[in-house]
Structure 1
Amino acid sequence: MQRYSYENLLDFSTRLLAAAGLPQDRAGLVASLFLEADLLGYSTHGLQRLPTNVEWLLNGETRRDGTHRVVASGRSCETWDAAFLPGPWITALAVDRACEMAEEAGIGTVAVRRAQHVACLASYLERATRRGMMIMITASTPTEAVVVPHGGLTRVFSCNPIAAGIPTDRDPMLIDTTAAMSAQGPLNRSYRLGRKLTVPMIVTGDGQVSDEPADFVERGGGILPVGGMEQGYKGFSLALLTEALSGALGGFGRSGQSGDSEANGVFVQAIDPDHFAGRETFTREMGWLADQCRASATAPGHAPVRVPGDRALALKRDQLENGVMLAATIADDIRPWVARLGIPFPEPGMPSQT
Structure 2
Amino acid sequence: MVAESLVHADLRGIESHGLSRLPIYVQRIEAGLIELSLPPEPVTRQGATSLIDGKNQLGAVVGMAALEEAMELARQNGIGFVGVRHSNHFGSCSYYAEKAIAAGMILLVLSNAPSAMAPTGGIQPFFGTNPIAIGIPAGEEPAYLLDMATSVAARGKIALAAKTGTTIPQDWAIDADGLPTHDPHKALLGSLLPIGGAKGYGLSMFIDILCGLLTGAAAGASVKSLYDNWHDPQNIGHVFLCIDVQRFLPVDAFLQKMDEYIREIKKVPRAAHVAEILIPGEIEQRKMAAHKQDGIPLTQTVVEDLNKLCSGYGIDLAQAVYRV
Which of 298, 308, 322 is the equivalent residue of 2:294?
A: 322
How far 1:209 sits from its partner (Å)?
Answer: 2.4
Report the Cα offset of residue 255 of structure 1: 7.0
Deviations along 1:73-126, one digit per CA (max 9) or x if unpaired, are 112111111121010111012111111111111001211111121111112222
The one-letter amino acid paired with 1:189 is L
Equivalent residue number for residue 233 of structure 1: 198
Paired residue for 2:112?
140
Q: What amino acid is aligned across from residue 205 of structure 2 in structure 1? A: L
Of 133, 151, 154 in structure 2, the residue corresponding to residue 163 of structure 1 is: 133
**What is the number of equivalent residue pairs in this alignment?**
316
- Alignment partners' CA distance in 2, 1:256 and 1:296: 44
Q: Could you tell me the TM-score, scaled by structure 1's length?
A: 0.83
Distance across 2 between alignment mates of 1:235 and 1:213: 21
Whether the aligned pair in 1 keeps the contact of 2:138 and 2:255 (CA below 8 Å) is yes
Runs of 4+ in 1 over 3 A off after TM superposition: 204-207, 255-259, 347-352
Q: CA deviation at 1:59?
A: 2.3
**Which amino acid in 1 is paired with 2:191?**
G
Residue in structure 1 matching 2:179, options 208, 213, 232: 208
**Contact in 1 for aligned 2:126/2:220 (Cα 8 Å):** no
Q: Which whole-Å CA distance do the structure 1 matches of 2:316 and 2:117 have between them?
A: 39
- Partners of 2:98 and 2:220 in 1: how far apart? 34
Q: Which residue of 1 aligns with 2:191?
A: 222
Cα RMSD between the aligned structures?
2.1
Contact 1:118 1:264 in 2 (8 A): no
**How far off is 1:127 after superposition?**
0.9
Q: Does 1:276 find its partner at 2:276?
A: no
Offset of residue 128 of structure 1: 0.7
SS of 2:318 mapped into structure 1: coil
- Mapping 1:1-354, distance limit 5 Å: 29-141=1-113, 144-170=114-140, 171-217=142-188, 220-227=189-196, 232-254=197-219, 257=222, 260=229, 261-346=233-318
User: Does the C-alpha gap of structure 1 residues 335 and 205 become closer, same or farther in structure 2, counting only changes over 3 Å?
Assistant: closer
Gap change, CA 1:256 and 1:325, over 3 Å in 2? closer
Q: Which amino acid aligns with 2:56?
A: F
Residues 234-257 of structure 1, C-alpha deviations (whole Å, 9 max, x = no match):
101111111122112211142793
Contact 2:123 2:176 in 1 (8 A): yes
Residue 334 and residue 149 in structure 1: after superposition, are their counterparts in 2 closer, same or farther (change >3 A)?
same
Measure, in 1, the Cα distance between the counterparts of 2:116 and 2:321.
38
Secondary structure at the aligned position of 2:240 is classed as strand
CA contact (8 A) 1:179 1:238 kept: yes
The Cα of 1:285 is off from its aligned counterpart by 2.3
Q: Could you tell which deviates more after superposition, 84-93 or 50-59?
A: 50-59
Report the secondary structure of 2:133's partner residue.
strand
Structure 1 residue 184: Cα displacement: 0.9
Distance 1:349 1:88, change over 3 A: closer
- Closer/same/farther in 2, CA of residues 115 and 204 from structure 1, 3 Å limit: same
Counterpart AA for 2:89: H
- Give the 3 Å change call, closer, same or farther, for CA 169–178 of structure 1 in structure 2: same
Amino acid at match of 2:163: R
- The residue type paired with residue 226 of structure 1 is I
Amino acid at match of 1:237: G
**Whole-angstrom distance in 2 between the partners of 1:40 and 1:178:** 16
Task: Describe the SS at the equivalent of 1:210.
Answer: coil
Does the 8 A contact of 2:177 with 2:190 survive in 1? no
Letter in 2 for 1:251: G
1:298 & 1:265 partners in 2: Cα distance?
41
Q: Per-residue deviation at 1:284?
A: 2.2
| 1:348 positional shift | 10
Task: Give the unaligned 5+ runs of structure 1.
Answer: 1-28
Q: Which runs of 5+ in 2 are unaligned?
A: none
In the alignment, which residue of structure 2 is the partner of 1:18? none
Amino-acid identity (%): 25
Contact 1:102 1:108 in 2 (8 A): yes
Alpha-carbon distance, 1:131 to partner: 0.7
Q: Structure 2 length normalisation: TM-score? A: 0.91
Does 1 or 2 have the higher relative contact order (CA < 8 Å, sep 6+)?
A: 1
Kept in 2, the 8 Å contact 1:272–1:279? The answer is no
